[in-house]
Amino acid sequence: MRRVLKLLGLILAAGVAAMPAAAQEHDEPLLIALSTQRIEIDSNFAGTSILLFGATDVAGDVVVSVRGPEQPVVVRRKLRSVGVWVNRESIAFRNVPGYYFVAASSPLEDIAPAELLDRKQLGSERVLLEAIWFDTSGEADEFRAALHRHRERDSLYRAEPGVVEFIDERLFRTTIELPAHVPTGDYLVEAMLMVDGEVLSTRTSELTIEKAGFSADISTFARADEALYGIIAIALALVAGWLGSFAFRKG
Amino acid sequence: MEIYLPIAELSANALILLVLGGGVGLLSGMFGVGGGFLMTPLLIFLGVTPSVAVGTGTNLIIASSVSGTMAHWRRGNVDFVIGALISCGGAGGAWLGAFLFKLLSDAGQIDLVISLSYVLFLGVVGCLMAVESLRATVRRQRTVRRKAHHHTWIHGLPLKLRFRRSRLYVSAIPPFALGFLMGIIASIMGVGGGFFMVPAMIYLIGMPTAVVVGTSLLGIIVISSVSCFAHAINNNNVDIILGLLLAVGAVIGAQYGTRIGGRIRAEHLRGLLALMVLAVGGRLAYSLVVMPDDPFAVAPLWGN
C-alpha cells in the first residue's frame, strides 16, 4: 500500500507539473497516464492491477474503458441426445474482446444518453457481439448471456462498472484489475471526458501484455516452428525412454 | 516445485506430476499395458483439456514404449518384419487420425468423440477381460489348450510373406491394416493401443505369444511418434514439459511395476486390470450422461 501511495504521489506531481505544457501542446482538456504500459506474465503470474491517473481542465465526468485483444469466439450449447450431452447448437461472434473493463465517475446512465453509450460500447453489456453464424433454434441472447457469464467467472468482464475517483476537482484515478488468465496482446485504454451528455475530449493509451520466461519461449516456439517442435518432442521422449531402460538394465 | 506447463496453460507441482507418472507407470508395468488409456483420462479429470491430454499422451507413450521395446529386444522377442509392416500402416493411420482430430476439434465435437471412444473401447475390453478372468479362476484345473494354427479367411489373403521370427507364412495385409487402424485410434484417443493390438496379433494373425508384446511395442513407438508429430503441427497440443515429467515418472514406475506383477497370479492380475479398465470407462460414461453444470461452452474460433 505504501508503495502505491508513493507512486501515486510521484505520478500526481509529474502530472500536475506537466499539465499546463501538455494541455497547451495538444489543446486537449484531458490527460491520462498508466502506472505501467507493459506487463510480463511469467509462470508465477497470479493477476495484477494497474493504476490510471488523469487530470482534466474542465469540470465533467470521466469514463475509462479498457478493451483486450479481439478474437472471434464460438459459444456452443449441449443438448441431450440419446441420453448423452452433445454440443448441438452454436453461435459464433466476431471481434469479441478477451478482456473488458469500464469505470466511470458517476453511474454511466447519468453521464450520457443510452444511444451514445451504445455507440461507444461503454458498459460490458453494451460490448457489441455480432454473430458470424447462427445455428440454434433458441434465442441468440441466451448465447450472449452465456458468453458474459463465462467471462465474468474468469474475471475478464465485470458485471458492474468500476469507479473513477476524483482526488480533487482536476485529478482523478481508477484501478484496472487484470486477473490471472488475462489474454496476452495489445490492449486499448481509452478515457473520455463527458460534459452535458457529450464527449468533450478523448485520450487513449496502449497497454501490452505478453508472456515472458522459459515457458513462454516454449509456447511461442511450439506455434512458430511446429515441425521442429514436434521433432524435438519426439527426440526428448525417445531419449527419456532409452535412458530409463539403460539406467535399469543392471538393477 | 510449481512449474508452468506452457501448452496446457496450467501451473502444476513438478513432484506431483512425477509421482502421477510413476503411479501410472507402476500399474502399466504390473499389467503389461502401455498406460495411455489410464493417463489420458486422468489428465482430463485433473483439468487438462482433452486435446492437450491426447497430444501429450502420444509424447509420453513414445518414452514408455522405447524402454519396453529395449527390454524385449534384448531377449530377442521382436519380429522386426511384422513390426515394420505395422509401423507403415500405423504411420498412415496416425497421420489420418490427427487430421480427423483437427476436423472434429473445429466442429466442437472432439471432446465427445474422445469420451465415447474411451467408453466403447474400455467397456468392451474390460468386459471381455473380466469374463475371461472369471472363467479362468473358476476352472483353473482343466486348462484348455488353444489350437496353434486354425485356418481362417485371413490365410486366404494375397501378398503372403514368410516371417522367420514368428514362424509364420501369412499375408502382409493384416499386419498393415491392423497398424493403420491402430494409428487412427492412437491419434484420437492418445493411447498406444497395446490392449487392442496384442489380442488382434494373437487371434487374427496367429503370432506366437512370446513375440507379440515386443513387436507391438515396436509398432507403438512409430505410431506414437508419427501421431505426436502430426498433433504438434495440426493441433498444437503437445506439452513437452508435462510429457517429459510424466514420462520420467512412468519409466521408473514401470520397472517396479514389472517386479510386483511377477508375484501376482496371472488371472487375478487380469481381473484387477479389467476392474480398472471398467472403472475408468464408467467414470467417463457418467460424465457423458450426467447433466452438465453449464450446457454452454465458450471457445475461440480458429481458422477464421
| pLDDT mean values, one per 10 residues, chain A (251 residues) | 53 51 62 94 86 93 95 93 90 94 94 93 90 87 93 92 93 94 93 93 94 86 93 94 78 47
Tell whether A82 is within 8 A of chain B (Cβ): no
ipTM of the complex: 0.87
Query: Residue B269 pLDDT more than 90?
Result: no
Residue A230, C-beta contacts closer than 8 angstroms, at least 6 positions apart:
B228, B229, B230, B231, B232, B233, B238
Residues 6+ apart with CB under 8 A from B108: A74, A76, A87, A90, B297, B299
Closest residue by Cα to residue B166 from B252, B80, B98 = B80
Inter-chain contact A245–B70, Cβ cutoff 8 Å? Answer: yes
Q: What does the pLDDT read at residue B132?
A: 79
C-beta atoms surrounding B283 within 10 Å: 16
A2-211 CATH pick, 3.40.1190.20, 3.30.70.270, 2.60.40.1930, 1.10.1740.10: 2.60.40.1930
- Does residue B237 sit in helix, strand or coil? coil
Domains of chain A: which residue ranges? Answer: 2-211, 213-251
Q: Is B115 left (phi over 0), alpha (psi -120 to 50) or beta?
A: alpha
A235 interface with B at CB cutoff 8 Å:
no
Instruction: Give the per-residue pLDDT at B73.
Output: 86
Q: What is the pLDDT of residues B32-51, one digit of tens each?
A: 777 888 899 999 888 899 99
Which pLDDT does position A23 carry in this prediction? 43
The pLDDT score that the predictor gives to residue A24 is 45
In angstroms, what separates the C-alpha of B272 from chain A's closest C-alpha?
26
In terms of pLDDT, which residue wins out, B138 or A7?
A: B138
Of A73, A86, A222, nearest to B300 by CB-CB distance is A73
pLDDT of residue A22: 45
User: Using one digit for the tens of pLDDT, what is the confidence trace for B53-94?
Assistant: 999 999 999 998 888 888 888 888 888 999 999 999 999 999
Chain segment B85-120, per-residue pLDDT in tens:
999 999 999 999 999 999 999 888 999 999 999 999
CA–CA gap between residue B122 and residue A235 (Å, rounded): 30
Cell numbers for B85: 509392416
Give mean pLDDT, residues B198-220: 85
Distances (CA, A) of A38 to A47, A50, B19, B234, B251: 14, 10, 38, 32, 42
* Alpha helix stretches (DSSP H) within chain A: 2-26, 108-111, 114-120, 140-153, 214-224, 226-247
pLDDT at A191: 96
Which of B301, B302, B304 to probe by mutation at the A interface, max A CB count within 10 Å? B301
Confidence (pLDDT) at B272: 85
Asked whether residue B220 carries a pLDDT value surpassing 50, the answer given is yes
- Specify whether the CB–CB gap between B64 and B251 falls below 8 A: yes
Nearest to A238 among B62, B231, B297 (CB): B62
